[in-house]
Structure formats: structure tokens, C-alpha cells
Amino acid sequence: MVPTGPYGSWPSPIGAALAASRDGRPEYLGAVGDELWWTAPRPAEGGRRTLMRRRADGAEEQALPLPWNVRSRVIEYGGQPWAGHAREAGGPLIVFAHFPDQRLYAYEPDGDGALAAPRPLTPVSAVGGGGLRWADPVIRPERGEVWCVLEEFTGPAPTDVRRVLAAVPLDGSAADDRSAIRELTDGRHRFVTGPRLSPDGRRVAWIGWDHPRMPWDGTEVLLADVTADGAFADVRSVAGGPEESVPQVGWTADGQLLHLSDRSGWWNLYRSGPDGEPAALCPRAEEFGGPLWKIGLSWFQPLENGLVAVVHGKGATALGILDPDSGELVDAAGPWTEWAPTLAAHGTRVAGVAASPRSGYEIVELDTVTGRARVVGSAHDDPVDPAYYPEPQIRTFTGPDNREIHAHVYPPHSPDRIGPAEELPPYVVWAHGGPTGHAPLVLDLEIAYFTSRGIGVAEVNYGGSTGYGREYRERLREQWGVVDVEDCAAVAEALASEGTADPARLAIRGGSAGGWTTAASLAGSDLYACGTIIYPILDLLGWATGETHDFESRYPESLIGPLAEVPARYRERSPLHRVERISAPFLLLQGLDDVICPPAQSERFLAAIAGRGVPHAYLTFEGESHGFRRAETMIRALEAELSLYVQTFGIDRPDVPLLELRK
């Protein structure tokens, strides 16, 4: 007999420290000869990203020790921060961006893995720390250069910035000399992705776009000829447009241009024929791409045998192998329900980063000859008995105007306890960031932290989320703070009305754009008993007038409307100007180094709510920017969030550090 215990009071082996230690995932996978390399999180080491190496014999090792932090700050969200080249003699040549100073470095471990000190390739910016930034590098050993995206700040404002493709000498001659860096493009576009060279090296393609569009609104594919001296000539636009999103370009082994496009309403894969007209290779009402939040993401990878590896799906994703001539698509077998937008090919094998509801993100390799998929790196291991993991339910709810709302519901679950028959469990609605983002169906120990204690979680892919086509994500156009709030509320109300959740013990939480939705929800209704607001947007007027980074500075024009045309809407929607409507307790968490959602917004929000008698707590974290990365930060934040729910929901839980709520 399993003992009965009040919801929220159950014992659990999944502590905050354990959840923090498993935060983050492998990223930016690449093949260097017969080896696989990738970046990996290190929450216990100041939240840095290290570089991992899987040798041809299967041995896995860390390639870069402390203090190296392989992470780019281009568009603040970063992008592909490293590239590698397998040389005929000696070890590989690796080029990477180091987060603290944003310089490019080269290092050359020998065949035994011994590490010579990385040497700088680029100078420190005269504008300030990290004012010269680099992403999406491509090593050109025959030219003695690495080609990449250069982001250069020209003044003190976040929007005083230019971006071009540039060539950096590999010999280190530009380490103290900005003039030694050769610019390859003329800056005609505000934003660019890294260069993709044709197999013969004679043509190069990349993506560009401009304010006020975001990359999921409209981008262009740029094509140029590469001259004998390494310059770009005859630059022309060959695909995309103001209302067509192209998030990735590439080349087949025989030199045909590939690109993703949502011209049909879904991101599908296209190949340009001899006349330049794109043809869909596998037209389907599902996504073969996603939002370009970071420079250099990859949803497809051409193989040397002419096949193309693709990440695709509707909601959940799979790794498939596409025959571009027949359109036949065969998916890899396995338990994985989510494949990250990073793929690497070596020979007839392709590797990706995948997870499932029972496993965290790991490196999976598919042999396209045998069809066998296996874990080859960063393998998931169960730190506790999997019986404590939640069992997700894939649900579709009905919202206003009978619109569909997709969500993942995680009921309370523990092998040690069940809830009393007369009690309904508390539930927390999770609003993801973006808002052009997606909540994946994967094992998340932060979710398990709550569900194993008897608190349910509902992740809502509200209107505006990706994974369900362009029409679904454009539901949020000029409706941010309306559709997202309504959809989260519809899920919460449905769970309560069907008897799944206690209607008196509903909460909402989210970070970044999810923090906006949380604050807007608390200001918009009395549905929720409390909320957790994490590094949020709270003041649209401030955000639209120089208080955030360049990449998203014009984002509100599509989410809210042009400021010049609807200025009142910016004020009316902002939680900062609706604090008088907030009565529920809340926890506000903020990184003090956040330049995307700066502390100034949280501070104005707290000043506006002061003296109104609303119980709240404000926790700040030095050294944290947008997205918490340090173990100690995540532990404190998670325990504080649980304490908020314990106090608000009336749960007896003396083992939780008390969060002081002030009025």
C-alpha cells in the first residue's frame, strides 16, 4: 500500500541541487574528422560552457578546462561559437569565442590531447568589453583564415552596432590589429548568419534580414561568387522575402543550394534547380525548421551520399533521412521526442542532440547504412529512480473562439505517496520564453522537482509558439499580452473544471517573455493564487525605446504594433502600468547583468507596487544575465519558488528554506 499524503508535502529525492546540476544541454555539435565535438554546460563552474571531444575510439573528454568559456554574445543570444579542422598531421585546429572578452582564439591540441595555451586571433574592442563579437565560424585553411559573423559596436547604445561577414587571419596578425580583419560583406543587412560555401568553394550563401522583422517573419538568402582573392562578388538575393522566413541554407554534395522556407505556411526544405526556382523536397504540413534565436542553428545536414538528414515534426520532432530525389523520408527509430537544431555529419553517419520524457539531452548517432541509432556522447544517466519522473500527457485544449491550444500536462507523481481522495492537487502553469518559442516534451528535473512533491505542472504552447506552423505562431501578432494570457488561463481553467487541478491553488510562472505573460496574467485576472516572474519584460515603452538589445529592439512592432501608431497600447498592456490590479503574492527573480530584460524594469515594477499590500519577494543574482547558469543561483531560485507555493497553498513543508514575503 502506498501511503497517502497531502499534495505538495511528499518527500522527494530530486532536490534543487540535483535539478541545477542537470540544467542545460549539449549544443553546437560538429564533426572534426572522425571526431565529434560539442559545447556542454558546467553549472558548478560558474555556469561556463566547456568544449567536449569524442575521439574516434569512443573516448569522451573535456577539451578545454577552466577558465575557458566557449560562448558567443552575438545578438546577445549567441550562436555557433566554435569551428574545427582536421589536419593531415598533428591534432585538430580549433577556433572558438571566449565569453569574457569575446575574442576569437585558436588552439591546437596534439594527437594525445595535450593543450597548448589558446592564442588570440582578434583584438579587444576599443568600445568596451566584448564590443567585437564573433559567431558561426568557418575555417578556410587554404587561405589561412576563418570566416565568420562579426558584430561590432560603434557607440554606447545597444543599437550602435553593425554586422558583416569577415575573414580573420589564423596566424594571429589581427590579435592587436583591427585593420588586419578583412570584411567580406558591405553591411547592407542589419543581421546576417555565417557563410556557407559550396563544395567547390566558388560560391557562398548566407541569410540576411533587417529591422523591424524578426528572422521568423522574413529573411533573404544571399548568394555571391567567391573570387580568386577571396572576395565576394555579384551578391544577389535568391530566395526569401519580407514575409517568408528562411532560417537555414546549405549545399548538397554536388553543389545545389538547399534552404528552409515557410512560404507554404510550414518550414519545409527546398532545393534550387538549374533555373534557380526552388522546389520543395518533402512538402508536408509540419516543421522542418524553427525560429532562428541563435546564429548558426541547423535543422538539416546534407550527407556525402546525397541524402539529407532533417529534424522535423509537428509539436514533437524526429530525426529523418530524406532522399531529395524521391521525397522519401525515413525516421530514426528510438525513444527520442525532441531533437535540438544541431546536426553533424561524418561519412554516412549523422549525429544530433536528442531527449525524451524519460531521458535528458544526449548525443545520438545514426548510421544511415544500417539504420541503427545509438547514444555516443553525453549519455543520460538516472540520478534517481525513474519512478520519480513525471508521466506527461500531450493535451489539446480549447480556447477563446474555439482555437486549439497545445500543452503538456505533468500530474503529481511519486512511487512513495498518493494524494488524498478528497483533495485536488495544486498546479503551476508554465509559460515558455520567446514568445516565439516552444516547450519541448523532454525530461526536465525542474518539473520533476515539483511533480515528485505533489504539485502538478502544465506547460502551455500558447498561440505564438513554434512547432505548429506559421498561422499558429502568428496568432500572437499584435496580441501579445492577450492571446498568451488567454491561452494559459484556458488551460488552467480546463484543468480545474475537469477535476484535475484545485481551482483555489493555481499558480503561473515563466521567464523572459514567459515572465511577461506571468505578470500580465496576475494583472489581468484573479485566476491564479500566486506567480513566479523570472527575468521579465515589464515595461514595453522602455523596451521599445532603448532599454534592450538590438536584436529584439523592434520586436514589439509585430507583437504589439508600431509604437508611433498605437502608443497607448504599449502602456495599457505593460504590467508596470497595471500594478493596481495585482493582488496575488509573487516572486520576482532577476539577474543583475541582464542586458535583454534589465534590472531597471524589475526595480520600477517593485517601486510601483510598493505600499499596496501585495506579498512579494525580490531576489537578485550578481553575475547572472538572461537565463540563469550558475548552480548556486538555480538552487536558490528553485527553493524560493517552492517556498512561495508552500506558503500560498497552505502546505506543511518544514524542509523548505523560508522565503520572506514582504508587503
Do you know the residue count of the chain?
A: 663
pLDDT of residue 113: 55
Sheet holding 35-42, edge to edge: 27-32, 35-42, 48-54, 60-62
Give 131 or 651, the one with higher predicted confidence.
651
Strands of 241-337 (E only): list them.
Answer: 249-251, 257-261, 268-272, 278-280, 300-302, 308-312, 318-322, 329-331
Q: What residues are paired with 80 via a beta bridge?
A: none
Residue from 490, 650, 522 nearest 588 by CA: 522
In a domain, 71, yes or no: yes
How sure is the predictor about 111, in pLDDT bands with cuts at 50, 70 and 90?
low
In a domain, 366, yes or no: no
- Clarify whether residues 415 and 288 are in a common domain: no
How sure is the predictor about 39, in pLDDT bands with cuts at 50, 70 and 90?
very high
Residue linked to cell 546577445: 76
Radius of gyration of the chain (CA): 25
- Please classify residue 102 by burial: count the beta carbons closer than 10 Å to its beta carbon, then call 0-12 exposed, 13-18 middle and 19+ buried: buried
With vertex at residue 660, the alpha carbon angle to CA 654 and CA 662, rounded to the nearest 5 degrees, is 145
- What's the rounded mean pLDDT across residues 175-184? 97
- Clarify whether residues 263 and 139 are in a common domain: yes
What percentage of residues in the chain have a pLDDT greater than 90? 95
- Please classify residue 439 by burial: count the beta carbons closer than 10 Å to its beta carbon, then call 0-12 exposed, 13-18 middle and 19+ buried: buried
Q: Is residue 137 within 8 Å of 84, Cβ to Cβ?
A: no
Provide the 10 A C-beta neighbour count for residue 358. 16
pLDDT of residue 51: 97
In a domain, 538, yes or no: yes
Angle between the N-to-C axes of helices 513-524 and 483-497, in degrees from 0 to 180, rounded to the nearest 10: 70
State yes or no: pLDDT of 649 exceeds 60: yes
In a domain, 514, yes or no: yes
- Clarify whether residues 406 and 278 are in a common domain: no
Q: Is the dihedral of CA 479, 480, 485, 491 positive or negative?
A: positive
State yes or no: pLDDT of 558 exceeds 70: yes
Rounded CA-CA distance 545/374 in Å is 49
In a domain, 319, yes or no: no
We report the CATH number of the domain holding residue 543 as: 3.40.50.1820
Rounded CA-CA distance 204/255 in Å is 11
Q: Please give the tally of structural domains in the chain.
A: 2
Rounded CA-CA distance 599/339 in Å is 33
We report the CATH number of the domain holding residue 71 as: 2.120.10.30
Burial 304-331 (b: 16+ CB within 10 A, else e): eeebbbbbbbebbbbbbbbebeeeebee
261, 280, 299 — which closes off a domain? 299
Rounded CA-CA distance 510/433 in Å is 7
How sure is the predictor about 416, in pLDDT bands with cuts at 50, 70 and 90?
very high
With vertex at residue 201, the alpha carbon angle to CA 196 and CA 202, rounded to the nearest 5 degrees, is 105
Residue 425 — φ and ψ, nearest 5°? Answer: -80, 150
Rounded CA-CA distance 479/468 in Å is 18
Residue linked to cell 477535476: 499
Q: Is residue 488 within 8 Å of 466, Cβ to Cβ?
A: no
C-alpha cell at 154: 560603434
Residue from 593, 634, 638, 640 nearest 47 by CA: 634
252, 281, 299 — which closes off a domain? 299
Rounded CA-CA distance 484/560 in Å is 12
DSSP string, 468-520: S-HHHHGGGTTTTTTHHHHHHHHHHHHHHHTTSS-TTSEEEEEEEHHHHHHHH
User: Helix, strand, or coil here: 522?
Assistant: helix
State yes or no: pLDDT of 116 exceeds 80: no
- Clarify whether residues 254 and 391 are in a common domain: no
Asked, as a colleague might, if the bond just before 67 is cis with ω within 30 of 0, I would say: yes
State yes or no: pLDDT of 129 exceeds 70: no
For every residue of 202-264, which 3-state class applies, written as one string?
CEEEEEEECCCCCCCCCCEEEEEEECCCCCEEEEEEEEEECCECCCCEEECCCCCEEEEECCC
Tens-digit pLDDT profile for residues 219-238:
999 999 999 999 999 999 99
pLDDT of residue 30: 97
pLDDT of residue 424: 98
In a domain, 359, yes or no: no
Rounded CA-CA distance 538/601 in Å is 6
- Clarify whether residues 398 and 279 are in a common domain: no
In a domain, 77, yes or no: yes
- What's the rounded mean pLDDT across residues 399-427? 97
Identity at 121, one-letter amino acid code: L
End-to-end CA distance of the chain: 44
Rounded CA-CA distance 536/433 in Å is 9
Q: Which helix (H) or strand (E) holds 352?
A: strand 349-356
277, 299, 321 — which closes off a domain? 299
Burial 111-150 (b: 16+ CB within 10 A, else e): eeeeeeebebbbbbbeeeebbbbbbbbbbbeeeebbbbbb
Global pTM exceeds 0.75: yes
pLDDT of residue 117: 87
In a domain, 332, yes or no: no
Q: Which helix (H) or strand (E) holds 167?
A: strand 161-169
Residue 622 lies in domain = 384-649
Rounded CA-CA distance 514/104 in Å is 33
- What's the rounded mean pLDDT across residues 34-51? 96
- Please classify residue 60 by burial: count the beta carbons closer than 10 Å to its beta carbon, then call 0-12 exposed, 13-18 middle and 19+ buried: middle
Asked, as a colleague might, if the bond just before 435 is cis with ω within 30 of 0, I would say: yes
Tens-digit pLDDT profile for residues 378-393:
999 999 999 999 999 9
pLDDT of residue 89: 81
Tens-digit pLDDT profile for residues 617-639:
999 999 999 999 999 999 999 99
